Structure formats: structure tokens, C-alpha cells
Amino acid sequence: EEQLVQSGGGLVQPGGSLRLSCAASGFSLSDSWMYWVRQAPGKGLEWVAWMNQDGREKAFVASVKGRFTVSRDDAENYLFLQMSSLRVEDTAVYYCARGHSGYPRRGYFDIWGQGVLVTVSS
């Protein structure tokens, strides 16, 4: 079964850092476009970041550029979101998701992690 299992959420103070993990099983991350999407409490979905199959193409929503990075451990089949200089407005449930990887890239997310809550508060 193809699935994503997330870990790493929690409470962090403003200005702090946190790393989220996303473990893939049933498929290889190195074959997939992978995405991070977040949802602030009671709000809608917001794309945060993506990474392509070879790891060379990454993109971030403007509000997190320079503060968040995305990386991968191909040996363990893990995806990571490293978040630093966290702000109160980064408080959200963060999801990792697998994106369509064909051509043209349709960008739909067919497998989602369960989500982890990141709370930025003093």
C-alpha cells in the first residue's frame, strides 16, 4: 500500500525551528514530485513547497522563502520540511503529499500524509 506517515509537529516559540518528516512506503520519493501543504486552524489549504524527482527543482510560497527548506533522504525514503524563524502565522496543520509526476505535470495530489500540527506561540 502506498502511504505517507508524518511526524515532527509540536509547539515552538516564535523565531524557533522545527523539522517535519514524511515517511513514504509503497513507492519511491525519488520517482515523485512531492509537496508540502498547510492549513491554518479553521482555514483553507495553502501550498507551501515542492521538490521534484531529482531534488534539483524546489519552490516555496513567498511567505516562507528563505525560512523553510525541503530535503529528502532517498535511502530511508523520507521527505523533510525544515522550518526556521517561525512566526505565529505559520501555525497550521502541515501535510506532505505526492504529486502527479507524469508529463505534462498535472499537479494533483493523490496521496496525503495524515498531517501534523505546528503551533508557534510564546
Is there binding between residue 52 and other proteins (CB under 8 A)? no
The grid coordinates listed for 9 are 509537529
Is there binding between residue 46 and other proteins (CB under 8 A)? yes
Instruction: Supply the minimum distance, in Å, between the C-beta of residue 11 and other proteins.
Output: 19
Pairing of strands 116-120, 58-60: unpaired
In a 10 Å sphere around its CB, with 0-12 CB exposed, 13-18 middle and 19+ buried, how is residue 111 labelled? middle
Is there binding between residue 56 and other proteins (CB under 8 A)? no
- Exactly one of 5, 11, 40, 45 binds other proteins (CB under 8 A); which one? 45
Report angle CA 58, 107, 62 to the nearest 5 degrees: 45
CA–CA dist 95, 117 (Å, integer): 9
CA–CA dist 87, 69 (Å, integer): 15
Question: Which x/- pattern over 72-111 shows residues binding other proteins (rule: CB under 8 A)?
Answer: -----------------------x----x----xxxxxx-
- Exactly one of 47, 53, 55, 78 binds other proteins (CB under 8 A); which one? 47
Of 35 and 80, CB closest to other proteins: 35
Which residues make up the interface to other proteins (CB under 8 A)? 35, 44-47, 50, 59-62, 95, 100, 105-110, 112-115
